[in-house]
Chains A and B, each alone.
Chain A
Amino acid sequence: GAGVSQSPSNKVTEKGKDVELRCDPISGHTALYWYRQSLGQGLEFLIYFQGNSAPDKSGLPSDRFSAERTGGSVSTLTIQRTQQEDSAVYLCASSPRRVGPNSGANVLTFGAGSRLTVL
C-alpha cells in the first residue's frame, strides 16, 4: 500500500482481556518495528522484524506481549491479560531495510497508531 496501515485505530478493553493490534507495512519494506507511546514517555521500542531473521524482542515489557509477522508482511502485536498500564498508543513503522549506522540512513515510515485504553 501507499503507507503503513494500522488497525484498529482505537480499542477500548476491560482489564484482563486479550487484544490484537494489526500492522500492514509498506509493500516491499523488509524491516518492521513496533513502538509504544505513553503520555510523557516518548516512544518506547518494543520489537523489530527484519526479513526472515529472528525478531529482536528486547523491548517487550513482559511476557504478556508478543508479536508475529506472517509472510514477511503483516504483523500482529498481541497483549494478553491487559493491564491499565498497557494503555498507550501503539505505533508501527516500516523501512526498506533495517535502520542503523551500518545500514545507511534508512527512514522509518510510521502508521497512525492504535490507541489502546484498558479500563
Chain B
Amino acid sequence: AQSVTQLGSHVSVSEGALVLLRCNYSSSVPPYLFWYVQYPNQGLQLLLKYTSAATLVKGINGFEAEFKKSETSFHLTKPSAHMSDAAEYFCAVSGADKLIFGTGTRLQVFP
C-alpha cells in the first residue's frame, strides 16, 4: 500500500529564508508523487509532480522538489520565501486509483 508522511505540521520561516517542507513516502511500486498547495478558503492547487522523468522537479512559484529513492523522500524547497507563500502544503502519492495525501504542513512566513 502507498502512504506519505509529512514531517512537521507547522513550519515558520522569515521572508527571504529557505523553505524546506519534508515528505517521505512508502510505495510498493515506482511512485508518482505530487505537491499541492491550499491557500485560505480555496481548493488545492498543483505545485509540481514527479513522474520518473527527472529526479529534480520544478514547479510553479519557484518551488522545486527532489525525488530521492534511497531516502524515500520528496522534499519541497524554495530558496527564498515570500509572504504570499503562506499556505498549507500537501504531499501525495498515487495509490491504485486515487491520490493518498499526507496530513499537510502549514507554512507561516514572517516579515
Question: Known interface pairs A100-B95, A100-B97. Does A110 touch B103 (Cβ–Cβ under 8 Å)?
Answer: no
A107 at the interface (CB under 8 A from B): yes
Q: Is the CB of A42 within 8 A of B49?
A: no
Please measure, in the bound complex, the distance between the C-alpha atom of A108 and the C-alpha atom of B96, giving whole angstroms: 14
Q: Are A101 and B29 in contact (CB under 8 A)?
A: yes
The one of A4, A33, A40 in contact with B9, judged by C-beta atoms closer than 8 angstroms, is: A40
Query: Which of the segments B37-45, B68-76, B77-85 contacts the partner chain?
Result: B37-45
Q: How far is the CA of A47 from the CA of B47 in the complex (A)?
A: 24
Smallest CB gap from A59: residue in B:
B98
Closest Cβ–Cβ distance, residue B83 to chain A (whole Å): 22
Given contacts A40-B9, A110-B44, are A56 and B101 in contact (CB under 8 A)?
A: no
Interface size for B (C-beta < 8 A) is 27
Residues A101 and B94 in contact in the complex (CB < 8 Å), given A110-B44, A111-B43: yes
Question: Which residues from A are CB-within-8-Å of B101?
Answer: 35, 42-43
Residues of A within 8 A of B100 (CB): 45
Q: Across chains A and B, which 9 residue pairs bring their CB atoms closest together, nearest first?
A: A110-B43, A42-B103, A43-B101, A105-B51, A110-B44, A100-B97, A112-B43, A105-B32, A98-B97
**Which residues of B approach A to under 8 Å, CB–CB?**
9, 29-32, 34, 36, 41-46, 49, 51, 90, 94-104
Which residues in A have some Cβ–Cβ distance to B below 8 Å? Answer: 4, 33, 35, 40-43, 45, 48, 50, 56, 91, 93, 98-101, 103-105, 107-113
A selection of 27 A-B contacts at a CB cut-off of 8 Å is A40-B9, A40-B103, A42-B102, A43-B44, A43-B101, A43-B104, A45-B99, A48-B98, A56-B98, A91-B44, A99-B98, A99-B99, A100-B95, A100-B97, A101-B31, A101-B32, A101-B94, A103-B97, A104-B51, A105-B32, A105-B49, A107-B34, A107-B49, A110-B43, A111-B43, A112-B42, A113-B43
